[in-house]
Amino acid sequence: MIKKSLLTTLVITIATISSFSQSETKKWAIALHGGAGGAPSSMTVERKAEYEKHLLEAIRIGEMLLNEGKTSIEAVESVVIYLENCPLFNAGKGAVKTIDGTHELDAAIMDGSNLMAGAVAGIKDIKNPIMAARLVKDSTAHVLLIGEGASSFAKSMGLEVVDNSYFSTRQREEQFNRIRDNKEQTDPRGTVGCVALDIYGNLAAATSTGGMSGKKWGRVGDVPIIGAGTYANNNTAAISGTGHGEFWIRRVVAYDICALMEYKEMTLEAAANEVIFNKIDPMGGSGGGIIAVDKNGNISFVFNTGLMHRAWSKSNGEYGVGVLKGEEKSFKR
């Protein structure tokens, strides 16, 4: 009887451990942003609801992929493709114009499991820059391709080519006219991005942007600079930034957050707050923030503006959306 009882206890214990292990393995988390900035006076209830609708549709794409067992790289790329195709955001369709009246797009993606990364900058005719960045990572020995070279590579890989006018919208044309006529200042903010942890414990980050409105001379911001606006490392976190890119480059924001976590053992939230509020703010770099997910599935949104378009979802059924600071909506599936 004693042997039988011990055997039964052992079987139950093994089953419990196995069940716990499986539940832990299936944990995933995903977050996205659609840019940060000051809360505009034109932000009506209807306009905010429109943003929330598209943010939730985008996050749903990512969570469905992660639920199906797809990788974090696949999830973040798919979410950013959706945001690039949505004219509400400064990436892909709806991107801002340069001072010359054209669109120059940047994007980056990074795999936290092996630190492989790909990025493109200053491309004018590839419909989805994030797909080009993914191909740089997967199909070349390089990290960053720019301008005509990046476009030629993307075309050779079969990506969809569009006329530069495809990226424009009526709102962007009107904005360009105001900047050209000195009725509006250039704006360095505006980006989309996604970070995710998959069920295999791997992190990934992806970011895409039209850059600074009214930018000159082929300016490139932080998005395609690995470690500045985009970074992922399985040891710490996946980060995607949005803000004044020059400050994000100088402070190597995304990497700095991960470094504080790895070398000072800070939590994700503490590290992000340290960088955004104690390092970026004193430099005059207000007007942006980051989204991040760490290796344990903790999600963080840290921004020093009145607005950041954002959404998130977790494997435990929690999800949510927010536009203005302090006005998040949380739900349970």
Per-residue burial over 277-310, b = 16 or more CB atoms within 10 Å of its CB, e = otherwise: eebbeeeebbbbbbbbbbbebebbbbbbbbbbbb
Residue 242 known to be catalytic: no
CA distance 63 to 69: 10
C-alpha R_g of the chain: 21
Sign of the CA dihedral running 133, 31, 190, 82: positive
Query: In terms of residues, how long is the chain?
Result: 333
CA distance 99 to 82: 27
Candidates 191, 207, 230, 236; catalytic one: 191
Question: Residue 83 in contact with residue 34, Cβ under 8 Å?
Answer: yes
Q: For 205, which DSSP code?
A: E
Q: How far out from the chain centre does Cα 242 lie? A: 8
Q: Which residues are catalytic?
A: 191
